[in-house]
A and B are shown apart, each in its own frame.
Chain A
Amino acid sequence: MTGGLTLADLPMAYAGPPPGPEGPGGLPRLLPAAGAGPVDLRPHLARYGALGSAAGPGALIREVAAAGLTGRGGAAFPAARKLAAAGEARPAPVVVGNGAEGEPASSKDRSLLWISPHLVLDGLQLAAAAAGSATAVLYVRRDERLHGRLAGAIAERAAAGLDTAGVDLVQAPSRFLAGEESALVSRLTGKPARPAYRPVRGLPRLAPGRAALVLNVETLAHLALIARYGAAWFRTAGTAAEPGSMLVTLHLADGRTSVAEAPLGAGIAGLLGLDALADPPPGAGIPGAAGPVQAVLVGGYHGAWLPAAEAARLPLANEALLPLGAAVGAGVLAALPADRCGLAETARVARYLALESAGQCGPCFNGLPRIAAALEHLAGPRPDRRALGDLERWAGLVTGRGACHHPDGSVRFIRSALRVFAAEAGLHEQGRCRGTDPRPFLPVPAGRPASEEDWS
Chain B
Amino acid sequence: MSGITHTTALWYASRATGVVTLLLLTAVVVLGILVNRQGRLPGLPGFAVTGLHRNTSLLAVAFLAIHVLTAVADPFVTIRLAAAVLPFASAYKPFWLGLGAVSLDLVAALILTSLARARMSRRAWRGIHWLGYAAWPLAVVHSLGSSSDARSGLVLALLAGCVAAVVAAVAWRLSRAAREVPPAGRAAAILSRMSARKAEL
Contacts and interface: CB of A to CB of B under 8 A. Distances in A.
Direct contact of A and B (CB under 8 A): yes
A200 to B, nearest CB: 15
Contact of A355 (B182, B183, B188, B194): B188
Interface stretch (A11-19, A34-42, A216-224, A447-455): A447-455
Nearest to B181: A359
Report the interface size class on chain A. 20 to 34
A194 interface: yes
Nearest to A377: B198
B111 to A, nearest CB: 26
Consensus secondary structure, chain B interface: helix
Given A354-B191, A366-B190, A376-B198, A451 B183 contact: no
B191 A369 contact: yes
A355 B185 CA distance: 8
B187 interface: yes
B154 interface: no
Contact of A369 (B181, B183, B184, B187): B187
B179 interface: no
Contacts of B184: 359, 449-452, 454-455
A365 B201 contact: no
Given A351-B191, A387-B198, 19 more contacts: A355-B187, A357-B186, A359-B182, A359-B185, A359-B187, A365-B183, A365-B187, A366-B190, A369-B191, A369-B194, A370-B190, A372-B191, A373-B191, A373-B195, A373-B198, A384-B201, A449-B184, A449-B188, A451-B185
Contacts of A452: 182-184
B138 to A, nearest CB: 32
Interface in A415-456: 448-452, 454-455
Given A377-B201, A384-B201, A370 B194 contact: yes
A148 to B, nearest CB: 28
A455 B194 CA distance: 24
Interface of B: 181-188, 190-191, 194-195, 197-198, 201
* Residue of B182, B185, B188, B191 most packed against chain A (CB within 10 A): B191
A360 interface: yes
B196 to A, nearest CB: 9
B187 A376 contact: no
A226 interface: no
A359 B190 CA distance: 11
* Residue of A357, A360, A452 most packed against chain B (CB within 10 A): A357
Nearest to B198: A377
A376 B183 contact: no
Contacts of A448: 188
Contacts of B191: 351, 354-355, 369, 372-373
A351 B201 CA distance: 19
Contacts of A369: 187-188, 190-191, 194
A359 B184 CA distance: 6
Contact of A373 (B182, B183, B186, B194): B194
A358 B183 contact: yes
Contacts of B187: 354-357, 359, 364-365, 368-369
A366 B191 CA distance: 9
B41 to A, nearest CB: 23
A211 B197 CA distance: 46
Contact of A365 (B190, B194, B195, B198): B190
* Residue of B182, B188, B201 most packed against chain A (CB within 10 A): B188
